[in-house]
Structure 1
Amino acid sequence: MTRNVPKSAVILAAGLGARLRPLTDLCPKPLVEVNGTPILHNALRNLEAVGVEEVTIVVGYRKDAIQYACGRRFGELKINYLETSVFDCTGSAFSLWLARDVLLAGDCLVLEGDVFFEQDALRYLMASEVPDVAAVAPLGELTQGAAVLLSDSGFISGFCMSKAAAGFVAEGPRLFKTMNLLRFSAPTLKTTIVPALDDIVTSGAIRAYADELVAYLIEKRGLQLGAARCKDLRWCGIDSVEDLRIAELIFQRRSPPLTSRQDDK
Structure 2
Amino acid sequence: MTTNAPKKAVILAAGSGSRLRPLTDLCPKPLIKVNGTPILHNALRNLEAVGVEDVTIVVGYRKDAIQYACGNRFGRLKINYVESTVFDRTGSAYSLWLARKALLSGDCYLLEGDVFFEEDVLRYLNVSDALDLAAVAPFESSMEGSAVTLSEHGLISEFRMKQTAAKLDADGPALFKTMNILRLNSTTLRQTIVPSLDDIIGSGGTQTYTEELLAGLIERGRLQLAAVRCDDLRWYEIDSADDLRIAESIFATASPRSSDGSFEHPIVG
Q: Provide the TM-score with structure 1 as the length reference.
A: 0.93
- How many residues get paired? 255
Q: CA deviation at 1:129?
A: 5.8
- In the alignment, is the contact (CA less than 8 A) between 1:5 and 1:52 conserved in 2? yes
* Distance in 1 (alpha carbons) for counterparts of 2:30 and 2:91: 16
Counterpart residue number, 1:60: 60
Quote the offset at 1:199 in angstroms: 1.0
* Residue 163 of structure 1: how far off its partner (Å): 2.6
Q: CA–CA distance in 1 between the matches of 2:252 and 2:70?
A: 24
Structure 2 match to 1:8: 8
* Cα distance in 1 between the residues matched to 2:123 and 2:139: 21
After superposition, give the CA deviation of every residue in 1:165-216 in whole Å (9 maximum; x if it has no partner): 6623436674211100001011100111001101111111101111111111
Q: What SS does structure 2 have at the residue aligned with 1:161?
A: strand
Task: Report the Cα distance in structure 2 between the residues aligned to 1:228 and 1:221, rounded to whole angstroms.
Answer: 19
Q: Offset of 1:164 from its aligned partner?
A: 1.2
**Aligned-pair distance for 1:84?**
1.2
Distance 1:70 1:95 in 2: 19
Point out the more displaced range, 142-151 or 162-171.
162-171
Q: Residue 34 of structure 2 corresponds to which residue in structure 1?
A: 34
Where 1:162 maps in the other structure, the secondary structure is strand
The residue type paired with residue 79 of structure 2 is: I
Structure 1, unaligned runs of 5 or more:
256-265
Paired residue type of 1:94: Y
Whole-angstrom distance in 2 between the partners of 1:164 and 1:217: 24
Residue identity opposite 2:7 in structure 1: K
- SS of residue matched to 1:105: coil
CA distance in 2, matches of 1:186, 1:123: 18
Q: Which residue identity lines up with residue 7 of structure 1 in the other structure?
A: K
Letter in 2 for 1:132: D
The Cα of 1:15 is off from its aligned counterpart by 0.4
Distance 1:238 1:189 in 2: 27
Report deviation, 1:127. 1.8
C-alpha distance in structure 2 between counterparts of 1:221 and 1:151, whole Å: 14
Would the aligned equivalents of 2:149 and 2:173 in 1 still touch at CA under 8 Å?
no
C-alpha distance in structure 2 between counterparts of 1:23 and 1:218, whole Å: 36
Q: Partner of 1:252 in structure 2?
A: 252
Pairwise CA distance, 1:89: 0.6
Task: Give identity over the alignment, percent.
Answer: 68
Structure 2 distance, partners of 1:171, 1:153, is: 21
Distance 1:178 1:77 in 2: 26
Q: Check if 1:208 corresponds to 2:185.
A: no
| Structure 2 length-normalised TM | 0.91
Report SS of the residue matched to 2:102. Answer: helix
